[in-house]
């Protein structure tokens, strides 16, 4: 359970770059590593899996209780080391209270936190910032600092200034534009889109090995206390598993167009006795054989509209099987794919209407959705916590659920629902309400095709 949380003073201070540098450097020491990301982030975990081939999961205190966070961490932690990357600034979260922040993750799993400061142009101000972060909460979890974007000549001064205040400095990373990795509106560009990714990661590793106190960070990680797991959801799992050896097969979309999926969603389906089989709406002309459920996850279908549209055989099969009642979850990008069209380019055609690009975020942030009718996932009145993030909008968003924003209480209708369907822009985190997962699996298990 050796672990550290890497967070920062604000977004864009270098957390992701330094996290990648540390993953590469510790992996080069032949350590068995796992990585985690706080908050509802798909891109960084996907990047870590692809580039570093490490187990990567989300830890989100909006979706999960403190004990759930501990259980999720214990289940997936690395044998030698776990590195958790915080989202936004360390204390930033929902509303004035800053709920669901990286600090809440650190406190819940008792992970020592190392703060990243972009310290270009600073001297004594750096000590004021780190001291303020350390003293802002009684149990701040802040145990050190790494400076980003500074020169080797400046580091000794900054190190001495912060250590004079009793805060340990664990090194720095100089600014090297040739190792920077681009971004899109949802975060990092995916690993498959970067031709020289190995060169960039090797460059970051070399910088970390030269300028960051890796031994000190590993000792800090080893100081984290033991966590205790609970047995809370064992009864649900055991009650849902089949007696038969034949598992229910759930087809899940996975390719460059459909790449946003919480790993925990897959795990809970597997825990409930399902066999998850992946398919590519870009490449495959047919769905996998003998499936009883369909999960169309989010992603970037808008970047691949021509390719998706040309694959008419699969589009027609998906429309037909949904019309025949196969239990189906389609969220965000998967929801868009089910429409008649995206930007007037034909798609599956199950949901009437067109999806169009807008010039601003249509929905962003954490929400709760409350069922207004019985549906595939739940009964009328049931609630689950989810999140939204999309620039595209639909002419037919649905009215099966009422959404309520966590930040300001704003309410609006969303999602399509029936006894065999959940489809909408909100991304579902199934462990936030395992009964939703169980209902999906039970319906898939009972579907006769």
Q: What DSSP string describes 244-305?
A: SSPPEEEEEE-SSSS-B--HHHHHHHHHTTEEEEEE-TTT-SSPPTT-SEEEE-BS-GGGSH
Return d(Cα 293, Cα 253) in angstroms, integer.
Answer: 12
**Taking the model in full, what pTM does it have?**
0.82
- Sequence-distant (≥ 6) Cβ neighbours of residue 231 within 8 angstroms: none
pLDDT, tens digit (0-9, with 9 covering 90-100), for 311-327: 999 999 999 999 999 99
What per-residue confidence (pLDDT) applies to 244? 47
What per-residue confidence (pLDDT) applies to 121? 81
Q: Does the pLDDT value for residue 132 go beyond 80?
A: yes
Does the active-site annotation cover 332? yes
Whether the CB-CB separation of 46 and 190 falls below 8 Å is answered with yes
Q: How many residues does the chain have?
A: 449
pLDDT, tens digit (0-9, with 9 covering 90-100), for 222-235: 999 999 877 765 56
Return d(Cα 84, Cα 60) in angstroms, integer.
Answer: 11
- What is the mean predicted confidence (pLDDT) over 178-183? 66
Helices (H), 82-228: 102-108, 124-136, 155-164, 197-211, 214-222
Q: Does the pLDDT value for residue 186 go beyond 80?
A: no
- What is the mean predicted confidence (pLDDT) over 43-70? 83
Whether the CB-CB separation of 114 and 217 falls below 8 Å is answered with yes
Whether the CB-CB separation of 384 and 410 falls below 8 Å is answered with no
Whether the CB-CB separation of 44 and 57 falls below 8 Å is answered with no
What per-residue confidence (pLDDT) applies to 188? 46
What per-residue confidence (pLDDT) applies to 233? 53
Choice among 77, 332, 355, 414 that is catalytic: 332
Whether the CB-CB separation of 78 and 54 falls below 8 Å is answered with yes
Kindly report the average pLDDT of the chain as a whole number.
88
Whether the CB-CB separation of 35 and 49 falls below 8 Å is answered with no
- What is the mean predicted confidence (pLDDT) over 434-446? 94
Helices (H) and strands (E) counted in the chain, each on its own, are 14, 24
């Amino acid at each position: 359970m050796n672990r550290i949380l890497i967070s920062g003073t604000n977004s864009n201070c270098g957390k992701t770059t330094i996290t990648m540098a540390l993953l590469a450097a510790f992996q080069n020491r032949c350590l068995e590593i796992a990585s985690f990301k706080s908050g509802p982030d798909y891109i960084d975990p996907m990047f870590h899996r692809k580039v570093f081939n490490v187990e990567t999961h989300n830890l989100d205190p909006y979706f999960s209780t403190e004990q759930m966070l501990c259980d999720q961490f214990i289940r997936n932690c690395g044998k030698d080391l776990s590195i958790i990357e915080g989202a936004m600034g360390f204390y930033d979260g929902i509303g004035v209270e800053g709920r669901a922040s990286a600090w809440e993750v650190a406190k819940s799993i008792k992970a020592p936190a190392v703060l990243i400061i972009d310290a270009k142009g600073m001297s004594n101000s750096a000590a004021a910032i780190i001291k303020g972060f350390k003293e802002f909460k009684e149990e701040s979890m802040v145990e050190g600092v790494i400076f980003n974007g500074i020169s080797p000549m400046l580091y000794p001064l900054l190190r001495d200034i912060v250590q004079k205040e009793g805060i340990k400095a664990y090194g720095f990373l100089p600014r090297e534009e040739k190792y920077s990795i681009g971004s899109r509106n949802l975060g990092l560009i995916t690993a498959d889109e970067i031709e020289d990714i190995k060169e960039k990661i090797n460059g970051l590793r070399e910088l970390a090995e030269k300028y960051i106190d890796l031994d000190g960070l590993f000792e800090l990680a080893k100081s984290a206390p033991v966590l205790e797991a609970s047995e809370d959801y064992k009864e649900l799992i055991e009650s849902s598993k089949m007696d038969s050896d034949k598992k229910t097969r759930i087809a899940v979309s996975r390719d460059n167009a459909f790449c946003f999926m919480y790993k925990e969603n897959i795990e809970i389906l597997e825990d409930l006795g399902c066999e998850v089989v992946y398919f590519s709406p870009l490449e495959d002309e047919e769905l996998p054989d003998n499936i009883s459920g369909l999960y169309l996850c989010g992603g970037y279908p808008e970047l691949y509209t021509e390719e998706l549209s040309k694959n008419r055989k699969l589009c027609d099969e998906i429309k037909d099987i949904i019309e025949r009642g196969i239990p189906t979850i389609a969220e965000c990008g998967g929801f868009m794919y089910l429409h008649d069209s995206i930007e007037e380019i034909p798609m599956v055609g199950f949901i009437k209407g067109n999806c169009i690009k807008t010039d601003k975020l249509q929905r962003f942030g954490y929400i709760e959705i409350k069922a207004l009718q019985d549906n595939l996932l739940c009964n009328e009145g049931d609630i689950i916590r989810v999140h939204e993030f999309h620039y595209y909008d639909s002419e037919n968003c649905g009215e099966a659920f009422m959404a309520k924003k966590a930040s300001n209480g704003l309410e609006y209708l969303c999602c399509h629902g029936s006894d065999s369907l959940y489809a909408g822009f909100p991304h579902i985190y199934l462990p936030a309400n395992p009964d939703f997962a169980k209902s999906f699996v039970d319906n898939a298990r009972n579907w006769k095709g």
